[in-house]
């Protein structure tokens, strides 16, 4: 096996421009600098990235990729660190094993733990087949672990800030609904209307179950929520609200993607952690300096 050649650097930006995404682009396009640093390594020496955000790998897609690898080999090298942990390309590695390869091309990067995590998250975000909920979890990790605001995340991953904000709203849904998204039991279009009834967990769960059983379309879910809210009686007379207040709550909840209550001339907005609070503040057009 050839001696491992590797990048030595303080930060990812120093080699490939503005962000880690440039490294991913370099791997994808097989530019000359990447080709010069590509070596072959025994596949059984590679281990998974502990920061891998992708939890579910599609067996059918892995099989299809394995068939392609049998014909053409592994075209894009797998990125690893000094400990032979896969930073990017775990799907290719799994497919190469299935194809019967004993060696694969790799590029060795001298990465810190933080750089490994950023690299793995961004490389996965740029995949077209990443689930919406997986993307949301990845953004949350970038926000929490790297202390990035939504605007900074958007810049690094090449998305709009509104896209990042809308995707992250999915994390306000109950865990069973998030699990449903992760297992592809429902789509983002079906789940998005549920954000408007976060203040009614019982109703939300009932409608979620109907989505699964009846395979409701996104438009059917929206209509069901709209008419159920209008007709639903209040169980406790002391908390009865007029329709205009409820409508206002729902409008704000759709905008912010979190539970909102208006009661006794007070507006309450729920948030789960500091990252979620920053997300809400950005949606309201506020910054830390303005607080």
Residues annotated as catalytic (active site), given as ranges? 90
Tokens of 79: 């990125």
Axis-axis angle for helices 243-256, 274-283 (nearest 10): 110
CB neighbour list of residue 83: distance below 8 Å, 6 or more residues apart: 47
Do residues 195 and 253 make contact, with C-beta atoms less than 8 angstroms apart? yes
Tokens of 47: 């281990």
Q: How many CA atoms, within 13 angstroms, populate the side-chain half-sphere of residue 234?
A: 9
Pairing of strands 103-109, 86-88: unpaired
Axis-axis angle for helices 161-168, 274-283 (nearest 10): 130
Axis-axis angle for helices 161-168, 132-145 (nearest 10): 100
Phi, psi of 5 (to 5 degrees): -100, 145
Q: First CA to last CA across the chain, in angstroms? A: 58
CB neighbour list of residue 109: distance below 8 Å, 6 or more residues apart: 6, 7, 23, 79, 80, 81, 87, 115, 119
The alpha-helical segments, DSSP class H, found in the chain are: 13-16, 21-29, 32-36, 59-72, 90-98, 113-125, 132-145, 150-157, 161-168, 175-182, 188-191, 201-214, 218-231, 243-256, 274-283
Which residue in 42, 54, 51, 113 sits closest to 78, CA to CA? 42
């Amino acid at each position: 096996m050839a001696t491992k050649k590797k990048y030595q650097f303080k930060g990812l930006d120093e080699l490939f421009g503005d962000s880690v995404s440039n490294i991913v682009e370099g791997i994808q396009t097989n530019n000359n600098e990447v080709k010069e640093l590509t070596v072959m390594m025994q596949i059984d020496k590679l281990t998974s990235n502990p920061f891998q955000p992708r939890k579910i790998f599609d067996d059918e897609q892995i099989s299809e990729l394995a068939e392609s690898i049998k014909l053409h080999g592994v075209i894009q090298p797998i990125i690893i660190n000094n400990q032979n942990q896969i930073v990017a390309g775990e799907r290719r590695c799994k497919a190469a094993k299935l194809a019967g390869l004993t060696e694969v091309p790799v590029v060795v990067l001298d990465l810190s733990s933080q750089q490994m995590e950023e690299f793995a998250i961004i490389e996965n975000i740029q995949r077209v087949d990443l689930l919406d909920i997986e993307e949301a979890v990845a953004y949350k990790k970038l926000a929490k672990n790297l202390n990035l605001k939504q605007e900074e995340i958007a810049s690094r991953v090449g998305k709009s800030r509104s896209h990042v904000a809308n995707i992250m709203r999915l994390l306000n849904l109950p865990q069973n609904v998030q699990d449903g998204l992760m297992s592809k039991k429902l789509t983002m279009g079906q789940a998005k209307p549920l954000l408007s009834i976060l203040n009614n967990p019982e109703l939300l769960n009932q409608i979620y179950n109907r989505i699964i059983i009846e395979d409701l379309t996104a438009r059917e879910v929206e209509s069901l929520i709209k008419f159920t809210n209008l007709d639903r009686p209040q169980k406790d007379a002391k908390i009865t609200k007029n329709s205009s207040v409820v409508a206002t709550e729902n409008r704000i909840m759709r905008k912010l993607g979190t539970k909102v209550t208006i009661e006794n001339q007070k507006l309450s907005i729920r948030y789960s952690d500091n990252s979620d609070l920053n997300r809400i503040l950005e949606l309201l057009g506020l910054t830390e300096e303005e607080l």
